[in-house]
């Protein structure tokens, strides 16, 4: 989705929320997050490990799942196609739901940095139902 200055905030918010839930809704992507948390790996290495541990997956489908993580910003930027994928760590994904039906979430990752409010990670996105 292209975001322009006149894009309604509600459209941007729901688009990002949909991307977060989509990314975390797939068992293969959860497996990838766990594997990449152990260390950087190439698409070929990940495909081979997946086939040994879980089941059949071809290179192009593995790449498609990695692109979903990359598009959300969960992986480190790569400079070349043959460069390994790696997670942007540490990573925090928080969801809070209140009894009144209101909820919010936060995605953050990267090295801690000092701010006037204390130590924080880079916040990729925050949203809420309010």
Is the pLDDT reported for residue 125 higher than 50? yes
Q: How far apart are CA 119 and CA 104, in angstroms?
A: 21
Strand partners, 126: 106
Contact 79, 70 (CB under 8 A): no
Q: In sequence order, what are the residues at sequence separation of 6 or more whose Cβ sits closer than 8 angstroms to the Cβ of residue 120?
A: 108, 112, 113
- The model's pLDDT over 32-65, given as tens digits with 9 standing for 90+, comes to 999 999 999 999 999 999 999 999 999 999 999 9
Q: For residue 1, what pLDDT is reported? A: 42
The pLDDT of 106-113, averaged and rounded, is 68
3-state helix, strand, coil in the chain (%, to 5): 40, 25, 30
Q: For residue 126, what pLDDT is reported? A: 57
Asked if the bond preceding 121 is cis, omega within 30° of 0, the reply is no
User: For the chain, what are the domain ranges?
Assistant: 9-72, 91-128
């Amino acid at each position: 989705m292209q975001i322009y200055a006149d894009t309604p905030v509600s459209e941007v918010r729901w688009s990002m929320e949909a991307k977060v839930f989509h990314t975390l809704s797939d068992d293969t992507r959860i497996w990838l997050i766990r594997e990449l948390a152990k260390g950087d790996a190439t698409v070929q290495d990940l495909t081979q490990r997946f086939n040994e541990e879980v089941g059949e997956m071809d290179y192009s489908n593995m790449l498609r799942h990695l692109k979903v993580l990359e598009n959300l910003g969960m992986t480190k930027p790569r400079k070349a196609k043959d460069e390994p994928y790696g997670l942007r760590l540490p990573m925090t994904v928080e969801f809070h739901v209140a009894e009144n039906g209101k909820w919010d979430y936060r995605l953050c990752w990267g090295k801690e940095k000092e701010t006037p409010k204390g130590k924080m990670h880079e916040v990729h996105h925050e949203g809420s139902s309010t």
